[in-house]
Amino acid sequence: MNKLCILVVSTIGGYVDWAIPDYLGWGFGWSFVISGVGSIVGVWAGWRLAQKLAE
């Protein structure tokens, strides 16, 4: 369950954080960097979600 939550939440976080700068027209480089940040935050959020579900 832990790995599944991390996978799903980090994928969603990376996609959303890719789409926002792309929509604003910031270009590929910024979209790539901000998507990486969103993925890292998604890993943390997915881990926390899995911990809450395990309780």
Give the domain range for residue 19.
2-49
Is 55 part of any domain?
no
Q: Tell me what percent of the residues of the chain surpass a pLDDT of 70.
A: 100
The span from the CA of 51 to the CA of 31, in Å, is 30
Answer yes or no: are the C-beta atoms of 47 and 7 closer than 8 Å.
no
pTM here is: 0.87
* Token representation of residue 23: 């929509």
Per-residue pLDDT of the chain (55 residues; tens, 9 = 90+): 999 999 999 999 999 999 999 999 999 999 999 999 999 999 999 999 999 999 8
State the total domains in the chain. Answer: 1
**Token pair of 45, please?**
């959020």
Question: Residue 27: inside a domain, yes or no?
Answer: yes
Q: Which two tokens stand for residue 1?
A: 């369950």
